A and B are shown apart, each in its own frame.
Chain A
């Protein structure tokens, strides 16, 4: 399971032609930096969100993931959202405070 959502080092272009029907390469755009993920179409995006935040060292509570103008809750799958290969998810910072 866990190895399905590994970020892939990919400079655009070729995504390694062996891509199966069940997987998509998705870009995650955060402050102009793009990180590529190979994801399973049927896995809730929550997992991608968690891994992304972990890798970037950012607090997931402070991030919003947006696809096609809609905010993602994490329960959605790529299939439900009709995502295509190379589609982009944008990550925005939300403002919080408590202290």
Chain B
């Protein structure tokens, strides 16, 4: 893992008025490191506010911290407070990052895998995209059970029986790139492209591309 010359241990910069990145967040983009919630959130903010700014009224990218919070709170009102301010019922495509840390056992861990659920309002479908088989499917079911009602009131709050389609998508060939696949899937789906066409090369490029955006201060405030 080589360190870019512009990145030092004291690096700290805030983006989109809401996400501060530190050295140990950014360095994860170099080489074979797992991505964390801060980097995921940075890129989702970039997609929402820069790349797909024209479609801002239609697309909603939930922050990993929002999904994490939703999984931690017990009361329906608390979930509503977290998600309703984002106007989810107004959006056509809602991107929901899934992490497998949200166990109800009370055991808090940082998680080991990222994947994606997308709600498509026009088709009224929940689609599941996982670069590693269906590793996070159980977490996805639990997350959707808590969120679906606030995306479309026809779904009852807390129901675990909502149909979630497993979509065939590109698979990671290693044990560290799932976060990058999650971001890549969000990117291509925002463009209505196909998730099967994401190649390992695209994934490496995306790592470098995100790093470059951070270096250039895209979205810095």
Contacts and interface: CB of A to CB of B under 8 A. Distances in A.
Nearest to A94: B36
- Contact residues on A (Cβ < 8 Å of other chain), bracket: 10 to 19
B115 to A, nearest CB: 8
B110 A98 contact: no
Nearest to B11: A73
A94 to B, nearest CB: 5
B22 A95 contact: no
Nearest to B176: A98
B36 A96 contact: yes
A35 B220 CA distance: 36
A93 interface: yes
Interface in B33-50: 33-38
B22 A97 contact: no
A31 interface: yes
25 contacts: A31-B108, A59-B110, A61-B34, A62-B110, A71-B20, A73-B9, A73-B12, A75-B9, A93-B101, A93-B109, A94-B37, A95-B99, A95-B110, A95-B111, A96-B35, A96-B179, A97-B100, A97-B113, A97-B178, A98-B34, A98-B35, A98-B114, A98-B177, A99-B113, A99-B175
Contacts of A98: 33-35, 112-114, 175-179
B110 A75 contact: no
A13 B84 CA distance: 44
Of listed A93, A94, A97, residue having the most chain B CB within 10 A: A97
Interface in A42-99: 59, 61-63, 71, 73, 75, 93-99
Interface of A: 31, 59, 61-63, 71, 73, 75, 93-99
B64 interface: yes
Contact of A97 (B12, B24, B38, B112): B112
Given A71-B22, A73-B23, A73-B24, A96 B10 contact: no
A98 B180 CA distance: 8
Interface residues of B, number: 32
Contacts of A62: 109-110
Interface string B126-148: 00000010010000000000000
B10 A75 contact: yes
Contacts of B175: 98-99
B68 interface: yes
A74 to B, nearest CB: 8
Of listed A61, A93, A98, residue having the most chain B CB within 10 A: A98
Interface string B167-188: 0000000011111000000000
